[in-house]
Amino acid sequence: MQDLTPQLRTRLDRVERAVGVFVLLAALVLVAGFAFYLYHTALRKGWFKTQVHYCTSLDSAAGLKLGDPVKLMGFDVGEITRIDTLPPDDLFSVYVEFKIRSPYFGYLWTRGTRVRVSPADFLGNRFVEVTKGTNYMPIHLVWPVREMPPREAAALPNLSQVVFLDAVEAPGGGGRLTVPMQPLETNVLDQLAAAGVPMVRVADRQVSTKHITAVWNQATDHYDPYTPRTKPYWLPPEESPALTERLDNLVRQAEEALPGILAYTNQLAAVLGQAAQVSTNVDGLLLQARSLVTNLTEISGALAAGDGALGRWLMPEDLYAQTLTILTNANGALTHATSTFTNAGSLLAAANTNLVFLASRLDPPLQNLSLIISNLNTQVEMNTNFVSTLHELLANTDDLIQGLKRHWLFRGAFKTNAPAAPRGAAKPFQRYTSPKGSLR
């Protein structure tokens, strides 16, 4: 440099400055690009947001790897952070831990939220998805939690946005006075104060913090304070096997069923052979049936010749003529019977008319007879001694007639002649008891 002329030295200084500025600008651009990459990676990974760790247990880790996204309602809301084995005596075999970033962990509630592991493609990959809860009790809370007396809690503004965190039992076993996530009410707070409850924990839903304040405890059914040492919350799994495993099971079942399928094909071939033999026999039967079809055609043509074709075909000509004669005579007899029945109907109609006239003529005498009988009945009812008198009269009359029969003067008037004996009949033997009897 000392040997260079001042002009060259000045030019080299300018070049050095330009190169330094270029290097400095390149370094700044590189740092800015790296910072931009880190910023967008942080946004994508949720480094600037609150993240909550969860865990679940599976039967297999096939198709899962660290860093795989975790989905919720179709969105990437977190990633898998740990995959490890469980003890041999555990119910499951694999431990999977993942994290969910804000605000998506607010959709995970104490009921209805599960970890669903489903196939992702045909290469055996699977993905992890968490489902939205079915009750409004979030697993993790970001609201400020305070503990205060019931009287002080009643003075808070906008009580409908402040909720209880614990279930408070009434003293003496009177049941629960509050349940978790129940909004504050003045009457409930008064009951707590009257029951002697010193302090209650409440959470204000109007204010959100940037860190977790409480986590649900499944064993005790209440919210515990959240600390950095709090273990990940366990979610129940719903695991589906990978598609490769399903295909393997399907192929295994197909291999097991293949001998049966081959047996069925052999049976089918035998059935087809028998069907061919049956078709050959049917062809022979069809040839034999041609004559039968021809005869049936002739018979049907004879039957369709006109009225009475069936009778002419079944009966000879002399029998057919006799049948016509008999039917003609029968028709005449039926016509005569019809006229006879018509005359009988006319006679019955006339007799009916005469009977009606006779009944109308007999009606007045019957009415008079009924009137006489009713008058006689009235006289009998009015004269109570009439029947007794009549009875005595009839008895005296009978005694008189019996006396007349015994009197010698009137005995012949009451004598009855014995029936005459038939001719040729022997006279009955009459035995006389005394000489006086024989002279009579």
* Sheet strand arrangement including 222-225: 140-141, 214-217, 222-225
Q: What pLDDT, in 10s, does the model give residues 235-256? A: 999 988 766 666 777 777 777 8
pLDDT at 308: 61
Mean pLDDT score of the chain: 81
pLDDT at 149: 92
Q: Give mean pLDDT, residues 421-431.
A: 55
Q: What pLDDT, in 10s, does the model give residues 200-219? A: 999 999 888 888 999 999 88
Q: How far apart are CA 4 and CA 415, in angstroms?
A: 211
User: Who contacts 220 (Cβ-Cβ below 8 Å, separation ≥6)?
Assistant: none
Name residue 23's amino acid: V
Which residue has better confidence, 309 or 434?
309
User: Who contacts 119 (Cβ-Cβ below 8 Å, separation ≥6)?
Assistant: 63, 125, 126, 240, 241, 242, 243, 246
- Which parts of 304-316 fold into alpha helices (H)? 309-314
Q: Give mean pLDDT, residues 371-390.
A: 75
Position 439 pLDDT exceeds 50: no
Which percentage of the chain shows pLDDT scores above 90?
27
pLDDT at 437: 46
Q: How far apart are CA 331 and CA 342, in angstroms?
A: 16
Sorting pLDDT into bands at 50, 70 and 90, what band is 285? confident
Q: Give mean pLDDT, residues 102-130.
A: 90
**What 3-state DSSP class applies to 1?**
coil
- Which of 53, 56, 70, 52 lies closest to 236, judged by CA? 56
Query: Could you tell me the pTM of the whole model?
Result: 0.50
Q: Give mean pLDDT, residues 95-118.
A: 93
Q: Is 172 left (phi over 0), alpha (psi -120 to 50) or beta?
A: left
**What 3-state DSSP class applies to 323?**
helix
Which residue has better confidence, 383 or 134?
134
Q: What pLDDT, in 10s, does the model give residues 163-203? A: 998 888 877 666 788 888 899 999 989 888 888 888 999 99
Tokens of 258: 């293949």
Q: How far apart are CA 22 and CA 91, in angstroms?
A: 64
Position 76 pLDDT exceeds 60: yes
Task: Give whichever of 101-110, 322-331, 372-381 has the largest mean pLDDT.
Answer: 101-110
Q: Is the dihedral of CA 297, 301, 307, 308 positive or negative?
A: negative
pLDDT at 438: 44
H or E segment and range at residue 82: strand 75-85
pLDDT at 141: 93
Sorting pLDDT into bands at 50, 70 and 90, what band is 440? very low
Strand bridging mode 214-217 / 162-164: unpaired
Position 222 pLDDT exceeds 80: yes
DSSP state of 176: B
Tokens of 49: 């947001």
Sorting pLDDT into bands at 50, 70 and 90, what band is 378? confident
